[in-house]
Amino acid sequence: MNTNQMEQLAIRGGEKTVKATFPWPIYDETEVEAVANVVRSGQWGNPDCADLVARFEEQFAAYCGSKYAITCVNGSVSLRMALMACGLRPGDEVIVPPYTFIATASVVLEINCVPVFVDIDPQTYNLDPSKIEAAITSRTKAIVPVHFAGLACDMDAILDIARRYNLRVIEDAAHAHGAEYNGRKLGTFGDAGSFSFQSSKNLTSGEGGIVITDSDELYETINSLRNVGRLPHGQWYDHFNPGCNYRITQLQAVLLSEQLKRLDEQTRVRDENGLYLNSLLATIAGVVPLSRGDVAMRHCYHLYIFKYDKAAFANLPRKTFVEMLSAEGVPCSAGYPHPLYKQPVFQQKNFMCYAIPDSVDYTQVSCPEAERACAHEAVWIFQHAMLGTKADIESFAQAIRKIQLAVARE
């Protein structure tokens, strides 16, 4: 191959920089056998049998260092049940970040409460604690910090505010399985922590979710909510709470038990690769990784995010940069096109049956940091690519450098 072919961008027919592909999910015959055994047993789920579900819940609680874990159908329902169990009333306000998946805010609507958007810290893309207090009113009852991309929120600052204003804290840890802050697993800092097991997440069974908590009271309520409002020692047709059937199957549970055995090593690899990629990007102008701060942490890189500055790329728009980087073989995207409050559901107040006060108006909301991240700054590399080798990680940096040189020549 001559130099020209090497310099030619893959999007224009040149050679791809990244040779590897990155499978996800990762499994072998162990998972296949585990699921097959459940199939053969005929013990697929309630009411006959839920011992394997209970076993996974114990395993996940032990892994996180929490007292209880309650599985459910997905990471939206887990978050909603955790909020419901906190005793929020219609019209109560819940502080959420605008740079996250829609579920973080839509589950607040679903319990007839009002999502209040507080901007992100431009260094981390997580909820900015210095902006929280200004958003607190007499109706504020809870904060939902999202450990976005698997990077821990500033929990010391958030818990301090929560204590002073008597607010509940429910961590949305949908990106954060196995990640740590000051040596402790994320999801264990607030009243409860919520995780998703949807296919893209760092621990998956295709779909699924879980809540972890140390609170006996929250555990009992959430356990009842996910099981049609039943109580553990009540009758099958006795319903005490307004829950639905949010249970998972034994097939999912055994898959999760096997996948959990892989999680810690996968998290170690992603964290190490993330630190390595940080060091490589430090030598390239116009690409700045999000900050890990000064606190000891274990980042699980559900996403590896860096800030793109087109000025260092001959004013190449981020959209084109991401197309070029994808063509070079880096699994990446530009992420969310808008902060959540710009979504039609909020702008047009399509609240359907939900009892959101008329005075709520999302057209007036402005979170400039989240808007900039969405409009032209953020670039996401997906978690499965962060499981590659050192050489693969080097090829990501090479691909960025190749684009930079190519656009500078034009």
The DSSP code for 341 is: G
Active site residue 237: yes
- Nearer residue to ligand PLP within complex by CB, 200 or 291: 200
Active site residue 402: no
Active site residue 121: no
- Nearer residue to ligand PLP within complex by CB, 146 or 325: 146
Phi, psi of 279 (to 5 degrees): -70, -35
Q: Minimum Å distance from CB 193 to ligand PLP? A: 12
* Contact set for ligand PLP, span 175-214 (CB under 6 A): 175, 196, 198, 209
Residue 104 interacting with ligand PLP (CB under 6 A): yes
- Nearer residue to ligand PLP within complex by CB, 104 or 257: 104
CA distance 65 to 185: 7
DSSP 1-59: --HHHHHS-GGGT---S------SS---HHHHHHHHHHHHHT--STTT--HHHHHHHHH
CA distance 256 to 25: 12
Which listed range, 80-88, 97-105, 365-373, 391-399, lies at the site for ligand PLP (CB under 6 A)? Answer: 97-105
DSSP 347-402: HTT--TT----TT--GGG---HHHHHIIIIIEEEEEGGGGGS-HHHHHHHHHHHHH
Secondary structure tally for the chain: helices H, strands E: 12, 14
**Applying CB under 6 A, which of residues 75, 115, 187, 388 lies at the interface with ligand PLP?**
75
Q: Minimum Å distance from CB 28 to ligand PLP? A: 24
Q: Which of 131, 247, 310, 372 is catalytic?
A: 247
Active site residue 5: no
Give the up-direction half-sphere exposure of residue 38: CA atoms within 13 A in the CB hemisphere.
22
Q: Are strands 303-308 and 287-289 parallel, antiparallel or unpaired?
A: antiparallel
Residue 117 interacting with ligand PLP (CB under 6 A): no
Distances (CA, A) of 320 to 16, 153, 180, 323, 333: 16, 31, 35, 5, 11
Q: Minimum Å distance from CB 355 to ligand PLP? A: 23
**Applying CB under 6 A, which of residues 17, 74, 213, 249 lies at the interface with ligand PLP?**
74
Active site residue 67: no
Cis before 23 (ω within 30): no
Active site residue 99: no
> For the stretch 240-273, what's the b/e string if a residue is b when 16 or more beta carbons lie within 10 angstroms of its beta carbon?
ebebeebbbbbbbbbbbbbbbebbeebbeebbeb
- Nearer residue to ligand PLP within complex by CB, 332 or 397: 332
Residue 387 interacting with ligand PLP (CB under 6 A): no
**Applying CB under 6 A, which of residues 71, 100, 223, 224 lies at the interface with ligand PLP?**
100
Which listed range, 73-81, 159-167, 312-320, 397-405, lies at the site for ligand PLP (CB under 6 A)? Answer: 73-81
- Nearer residue to ligand PLP within complex by CB, 124 or 404: 124
**Applying CB under 6 A, which of residues 63, 101, 304, 313 lies at the interface with ligand PLP?**
101
Residue 82, classed as helix, strand or coil, is helix
Active site residue 198: yes
Q: Minimum Å distance from CB 186 to ligand PLP? A: 12
Please give the residue ranges that form the binding site for ligand PLP (CB under 6 A).
74-76, 100-101, 103-104, 146, 172, 174-175, 196, 198, 209
Give catalytic residue positions: 101, 172, 175, 198, 201, 230, 237, 247
